[in-house]
Amino acid sequence: MAKLYFIYAAMNAGKSTILLQSAYNYRERGMQVMLWTSGHYREGQEETAEISSRIGLNARAHLYREEIDLFEAITAMKNDGAVDAVFIDEAQFLAPEQVWQLARVADQLHIPVMCYGLRTDFQGKLFPGSAELLAIADQLREVRTICHCGRKATMTARVDPEGKAITEGQQVEVEKSRYVSLCRKHWEAATKIH
């Protein structure tokens, strides 16, 4: 039975690396995988982009945008050939309806769907896609990373060039170097949001 998975973590935990390694494992066994990544901040780009990890792994992927029906797109590709698994990078940017479309891929097309993304933003709020995945995914997996104190990092802080936490602004900012992973205690101390 195919399932919808949500693999989540704070920034810099290695989610994209794990996704790319898993996709490689499927391909190594002769299976066909579909990779998707967010078109959220890639305006004007073609229909494909690259998923890349900090350690240098990368692979071409389809771009999803809010207007794309992922169930229809995956069904069309399945009709053109085998699709053994679907991997979604940056799943926090999925629209709630797209999460349900991916659930239908697992339930009706019997294709496992692995979604990788952040659980919360720099203000400690759930992303809409993450909230829907936490609500309906068949299986949840946390990828762990550590805070500078050695505790498990569960939060992501956005910082300015001096390293001071920023607490206001748009939910998404693309520059990855502006984010640090912290445990809840140090995130709260840095942001003073709560």
Which secondary structure element, helix H or strand E, spans residue 134, and what is its range? helix 128-136
**Residue 193 maps to a domain:** no
Structure tokens given for 63 = 């771009």
In whole angstroms, give the CA distance from residue 59 to residue 184: 33
Residue 126 DSSP label: B
Q: What is the CATH number of the domain that holds 93?
A: 3.40.50.300
Count of beta carbons in the 10 Å neighbourhood of residue 183: 19
- List average pLDDT for each run of 10 residues in the chain, which is 194 residues long: 95 91 95 90 64 83 92 94 94 97 98 96 94 98 94 91 84 70 93 81
Give the three-state DSSP class for 118.
strand
How many domains is the chain built from?
Answer: 1
pLDDT at 130: 97
Contact by Cβ (8 Å): 104, 98: no
**Residue 172 maps to a domain:** no
Q: How far apart are the first and last CA of the chain?
A: 42
Helix axes 96-108, 70-80, angle to 10 degrees: 30
Contact by Cβ (8 Å): 155, 13: no
Q: The domain containing residue 91 runs over which residues? A: 4-143
pLDDT at 54: 82
pLDDT at 95: 96
**Residue 121 maps to a domain:** yes
Q: Compute the half-sphere exposure of residue 94: CA atoms within 13 Å on the CB side of its CA.
A: 32
In whole angstroms, give the CA distance from residue 62 to residue 33: 11
**Residue 189 maps to a domain:** no
**Residue 13 maps to a domain:** yes
pLDDT at 47: 67
**Residue 11 maps to a domain:** yes
pLDDT at 175: 59
Catalytic annotation, residues: 90
pLDDT at 80: 86
pLDDT at 34: 95
pLDDT at 154: 92
Using alpha carbons only, give the angle 101, 103, 105 rounded to the nearest 5 degrees.
75
**Residue 22 maps to a domain:** yes
Q: Where are the alpha helices (H) located in 57-124, listed in sequence order?
A: 70-80, 96-108
**Residue 27 maps to a domain:** yes
